[in-house]
Every structure is written in structure tokens, then in C-alpha cells.
């Protein structure tokens, strides 16, 4: 790197050869979505469309949550290496509001077609009555609004003080960021679990599992890390983040991915095992449905594809830094996460197996949302400095050892320890 300041105005994220990709995605995805909406309206009263939209929304929602988690954890652990990847994580997180909130609107509009408990009468249904007053139409709207309000508060404040620090470099910003991360992690855990229950688990309102919140969190972090790996690799290649990314940081991201692969597998196994072993009808029906038709095959794909494949690829030490292997793996992780969401969501609609003739619909919506959100992300990234310019841990991210940084601070203040 020749001059440090020059870097600040340097080439932002452009996807070079893939520049047109978001627009292409929007066009193709938009067409498929529209077609799907029409066909679904004609054939099954928009239910297919609603479920597909919910799944695609949950997919990007979980990526944004994963990124938000990384930002919060960065501040809480006072990490050094992750300074370089923090800025674009902040951008990913701030997609939550308003953009993902806007994408949530169709779910809200179609809620009565998606969530069966909204149409059931609590007077005749014990399980719905037990969940009053939250699980009502107004309860659903209010809770969803609170959830997005919390995401707005967290993502905007974490982004705001981080950008502020670029200008001032003051320790005050770091303190603010830690403050928001401190209560933020509590709010994060509660809000994430609540949204998982309200939007996903309650599709089959008769079923309950205390592990679900942790499972959803761990999936979010997992898919978020895969996304971060890919974006960081692109930015490293373009030289945008070359100053603050070392090759071994990809090792760290890889280790975290390995850890969350295991944690996700752990939560799912625990959930399955406890239900399987106790054999209580109130719970087993959820898994029994998922043994029907092609859900059975999907469950097998998930066991191997979501756990064993990433685990064995991420296990060898050196392989974690090999882009040629890990970037395809990250794409695979996306596919597996989407499949897992489908496994959670669609059986509420098709409990005899997925109707493969509809598969283009969720894919189309995924493309539409992906293109749209990518456009916004690139726009956000390009209008701000690519990494935190005056972060107190910037030197560490540049590869200066902690001991040396400590001495530099002492030298700067001219003081002694």
C-alpha cells in the first residue's frame, strides 16, 4: 500500500464482470414472482405465493441478522482482526430497516393465508386460546412492528457511531458502540427468538420447541458468516480491503463457520433427539410430517449437506484459507440454509411432500429479493468508507501485534506504564 490516505477514496465495490448481475436477478426474479403470484392466485388462493415469499424473506432476514450479530460481538469482545470486515457487516445489518421491513409487508398482507391460527376461533381451539393475546391479528402486527423497531434502533445506531468515528476517531464513539452492543446482545437474542417463533415456528402452532430460538440464531450466524466470507474475499481481491485484511483472517472466519456448523447441528440434533426419545404425540407430529414424500429425502440431504459436508471441508487447517474451495462451500451453505428454511416452512402447506412443480416460485422470489438487496448494499457500501478509518483496533487489523500497538500508544502519549 503506497499511501494510506489515498486508499480512503479508492475503488469501492463493483462486481467487475458480474456488474449486471443484480439487475438481471431483479428482472428474471421479478418476472417469475409476478407469474407465480398470478398462478398462485388462480390455483390456491395465493397460499403458495405467501409461503414462498415468507421463505425467501426469512433467508435474507437471517443473513442480515448474522451480520448484525458479528458487529455486536465485535464490539463486545473488543476484537482486533474483524475491524476490516465490520463496515460491510454494518451495511448488511442495516438492510433490516427499512428494506427488509418493506419486503415483510407481503407476509403481513397475506398473513391470514399463511398462518392458520389467525383464522381459527380461540373459543373452539385450546392451543390458540393458550397463546392469547399475542397470537391474534393485532398482536401479530404489533409484535412484528416492535421487532422491526428494535432492529432499526440497533442497526442504525451501530452504523451511525461507527461512521462517526471515521471522522473524529474519538474513544467516545467506541464507548457508545459498546453500550449499544451491550444491551444490544440482549435485545438481539430476545427479538431474534421472538421473530423465529412468530413468523416461522407458529406456522404449525400446535408444535413447540424451546430449542427453536437457539437453532434459528445459530443458522443465522452460520449463513451470515458464509456471506461475510464471500464478500470479504471479493473485496480482498479488488484490493478495497487489502490494507486491513490478512490472509489468516479468513482462517478465523472459517473457524467460526466450523463452530457454527457444529452448533447448528447440535441444536437440531438435540431438538430431534428429545422429541424422538420422549415420543409425545404433541411434538412428534412435526417430524412425522417431515418424513412424508420428498420431505424425507430433503431431511437426509440436510443431515449430510448441512452438517457433515461443511464440517469435513472446514476441518483441515489450511483449507479454510483456500478461496477456490471455501467460496463454493459458502454458496453451498446458502443453498443448504434455504433448503432448511423450506424444510421448516413448507410442510405446513404441503404435508405430503413438496410439490416440485412450484420450485421456480421461491427461487424467483429469492432472485428478486437478492438482486434488490444487493443493489442497496452496493449503494450503501460505495457511499461510505470501505472500512472503519479510525478504529482503535485498526492497527491490529493491519497485522501489527498487540504488544507493538501498546508501545505505540505509550509513545504517542509520551507516558510510561
Q: Which of residues 311-330 bind other proteins (CB under 8 A)?
A: 317-318
Is there binding between residue 393 and other proteins (CB under 8 A)?
Answer: yes
What DSSP state is assigned to residue 214? H
Q: Of the two residues 382 and 401, which places its CB atom closer to other proteins in the complex?
A: 401
Q: Of the candidates 20, 45, 141, 182, which one interacts with other proteins according to CB under 8 A? A: 182
How far, in Å, CA of 160 to CA of 93, rounded? 12
Is there binding between residue 382 and other proteins (CB under 8 A)?
Answer: no
Is there binding between residue 261 and other proteins (CB under 8 A)?
Answer: no
Is there binding between residue 275 and other proteins (CB under 8 A)?
Answer: yes
**Per-residue string for binding with other proteins, 224-243, x by CB under 8 A?**
------------------xx
Q: What is the DSSP string of 25-67?
A: HHHHHHHHHHHHHHHHHHHHTTHHHHHHHHHHHHHHHHHHHHH
**Per-residue string for binding with other proteins, 162-181, x by CB under 8 A?**
-------xxx--x-------
Residues 200-229 that bind other proteins (CB under 8 A): 208-214
Is there binding between residue 394 and other proteins (CB under 8 A)?
Answer: yes
Q: Are 108 and 259 in contact (CB under 8 A)?
A: no
Query: Cell for 374?
Result: 444487493
Q: Of the candidates 108, 280, 288, 300, which one interacts with other proteins according to CB under 8 A? A: 280
Task: Give the closest residue to 364 by CA, choosing from 17, 66, 40, 96.
Answer: 40
Q: Of the candidates 193, 227, 240, 264, which one interacts with other proteins according to CB under 8 A? A: 193
Least gap, CB of 299 to other proteins (angstroms): 12
Least gap, CB of 40 to other proteins (angstroms): 30
Q: Of the two residues 162 and 267, which places its CB atom closer to other proteins in the complex?
A: 267
Task: Give the closest residue to 33 by CA, choosing from 358, 304, 375.
Answer: 358
Q: Are 409 and 393 in contact (CB under 8 A)?
A: no
Q: Of the two residues 243 and 327, which places its CB atom closer to other proteins in the complex?
A: 243
Q: Are 374 and 18 in contact (CB under 8 A)?
A: no
Q: Of the two residues 213 and 364, which places its CB atom closer to other proteins in the complex?
A: 213
Q: Are 311 and 263 in contact (CB under 8 A)?
A: no
**What kind and span of H or E run contains 209?**
none
**What kind and span of H or E run contains 123?**
none
Is there binding between residue 390 and other proteins (CB under 8 A)?
Answer: yes
Least gap, CB of 370 to other proteins (angstroms): 32
Least gap, CB of 314 to other proteins (angstroms): 12
Residues 350-369 that bind other proteins (CB under 8 A): none
> How far is C-alpha 387 from the geometric centre of its chain's CA atoms?
20
Which positions ≥6 away from 128 have C-beta within 8 Å?
Answer: 117, 120, 121, 122, 135, 205
What's the full length of the chain, in residues?
417
Q: Which residue stretch of 46-54, 266-274, 288-296, 357-365 sits at the interface with other proteins (rule: CB under 8 A)?
A: 266-274
Q: What is the DSSP string of 381-396?
A: HHTS-SS-SS-TTHHH
Residues 61-120 that bind other proteins (CB under 8 A): 78
Is there binding between residue 386 and other proteins (CB under 8 A)?
Answer: no
Is there binding between residue 121 and other proteins (CB under 8 A)?
Answer: no
Is there binding between residue 400 and other proteins (CB under 8 A)?
Answer: yes
Q: Of the candidates 185, 321, 325, 376, which one interacts with other proteins according to CB under 8 A? A: 185
Residues 29-68 that bind other proteins (CB under 8 A): none
Q: Which residue stretch of 103-111, 182-190, 227-235, 370-378 sits at the interface with other proteins (rule: CB under 8 A)?
A: 182-190
- The half-sphere exposure of 75 on its side-chain side, counting CA atoms within 13 A, is 29
Cα torsion at 380, 72, 218, 248 (round to 10°)? 80
- CA distances to 278, 289, 350 from 281, in Å: 9, 12, 20
Q: Which residue stretch of 220-228, 343-351, 355-363, 396-404 sits at the interface with other proteins (rule: CB under 8 A)?
A: 396-404
Amino acid at each position: 500500500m503506497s499511501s494510506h490516505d489515498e486508499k480512503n477514496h479508492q475503488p469501492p465495490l463493483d462486481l467487475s464482470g458480474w456488474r449486471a448481475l443484480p439487475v438481471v436477478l431483479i428482472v428474471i426474479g421479478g418476472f417469475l414472482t409476478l407469474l407465480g403470484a398470478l398462478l398462485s392466485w388462480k390455483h390456491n388462493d395465493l397460499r403458495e405465493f405467501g409461503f414462498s415469499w415468507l421463505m425467501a424473506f426469512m433467508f435474507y432476514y437471517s443473513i442480515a441478522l448474522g451480520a448484525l450479530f458479528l458487529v455486536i460481538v465485535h464490539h463486545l469482545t473488543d476484537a482486533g482482526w474483524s475491524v476490516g470486515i465490520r463496515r460491510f457487516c454494518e451495511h448488511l445489518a442495516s438492510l433490516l430497516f427499512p428494506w427488509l421491513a418493506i419486503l415483510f409487508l407481503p407476509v403481513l398482507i397475506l398473513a391470514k393465508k399463511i398462518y392458520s391460527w389467525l383464522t381459527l376461533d380461540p373459543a373452539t381451539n385450546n392451543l390458540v386460546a393458550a397463546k392469547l393475546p399475542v397470537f391474534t391479528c393485532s398482536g401479530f402486527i404489533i409484535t412484528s412492528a416492535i421487532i422491526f423497531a428494535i432492529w432499526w434502533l440497533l442497526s442504525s445506531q451501530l452504523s451511525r457511531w461507527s461512521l462517526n468515528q471515521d471522522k473524529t476517531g474519538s474513544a467516545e464513539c467506541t464507548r457508545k458502540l459498546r453500550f449499544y452492543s451491550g444491551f444490544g446482545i440482549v435485545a438481539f437474542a430476545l427479538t431474534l427468538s421472538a421473530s423465529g417463533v412468530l413468523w416461522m415456528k407458529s406456522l404449525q402452532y400446535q408444535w413447540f420447541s424451546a430449542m427453536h430460538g437457539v437453532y434459528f440464531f445459530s443458522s443465522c450466524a452460520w449463513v451470515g458468516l458464509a456471506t461475510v466470507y464471500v464478500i470479504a474475499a471479493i473485496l480482498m481481491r479488488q484490493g478495497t480491503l487489502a490494507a486491513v485484511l490478512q490472509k489468516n483472517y479468513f482462517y478465523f472466519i472459517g473457524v467460526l463457520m466450523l463452530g457454527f456448523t457444529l452448533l447448528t447441528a447440535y441444536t437440531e440434533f438435540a431438538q430431534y433427539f428429545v422429541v424422538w426419545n420422549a415420543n409425545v404425540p404433541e411434538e412428534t407430529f412435526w417430524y412425522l410430517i417431515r418424513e412424508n414424500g420428498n420431505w424425507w429425502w430433503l431431511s437426509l440431504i440436510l443431515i449430510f449437506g448441512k452438517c457433515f459436508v461443511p464440517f469435513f471441508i472446514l476441518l483441515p487447517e489450511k483449507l479454510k484459507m483456500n478461496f477456490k474451495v471455501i467460496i463454493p462451500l459458502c454458496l453451498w451453505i446458502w443453498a443448504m440454509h434455504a433448503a432448511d428454511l423450506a424444510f421448516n416452512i413448507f410442510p405446513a402447506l404441503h404435508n405430503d411432500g413438496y410439490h416440485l412443480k412450484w420450485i421456480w416460485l421461491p427461487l424467483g422470489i429469492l432472485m428478486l429479493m437478492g438482486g434488490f438487496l444487493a443493489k442497496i448494499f452496493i449503494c450503501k457500501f460505495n457511499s461510505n468508507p470501505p472500512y472503519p478509518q479510525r478504529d482503535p483496533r485498526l492497527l491490529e487489523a493491519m497485522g501489527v501485534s498487540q504488544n507493538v500497538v501498546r508501545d505505540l500508544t505509550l509513545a504517542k502519549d509520551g507516558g510510561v506504564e
